[in-house]
Amino acid sequence: MEYFALSSMLSIILTMIAIGFAWWGLQSVRFDIFLKKPDGPQAKGLQIILSIALGYQFAQFFLDYLGWSIQLRNLF
């Protein structure tokens, strides 16, 4: 039971950090080239959605990789 709580807490923290890094990384993208109103609320909403999607995918990859690495010790 304690393992699941720790695993859940790690997943939440890692996902939030990954979303923050994705947000930080998207700040360097020139959205004015692609959008009509790059300073509007819809553009900020798009940045938020993109950062959540990218951050979540990166966190899932890292958590899957960590899980696979832990399971490798069962191989030997």
pTM of the model: 0.83
Residue 3 included in any domain? no
- Pair 49, 28: CB distance under 8 Å: no
Label residue 50 exposed, middle or buried (CB < 10 Å: 0-12, 13-18, 19+).
middle
Residue 75 included in any domain? no
Residue 60 included in any domain? yes
Residue 61 included in any domain? yes
Residue 63 lies in domain: 15-70
Provide the number of structural domains found in the chain. Answer: 1
pLDDT at 23: 96
Residue 58 included in any domain? yes
DSSP H helix total and E strand total for the chain = 2, 0
Over residues 20-69, the pLDDT tens digits come to 999 999 999 888 888 888 888 998 999 999 999 999 999 999 999 998 99
Over residues 2-18, the pLDDT tens digits come to 878 888 999 999 999 99
Question: Confidence class of residue 73 from pLDDT cuts 50, 70 and 90?
Answer: confident
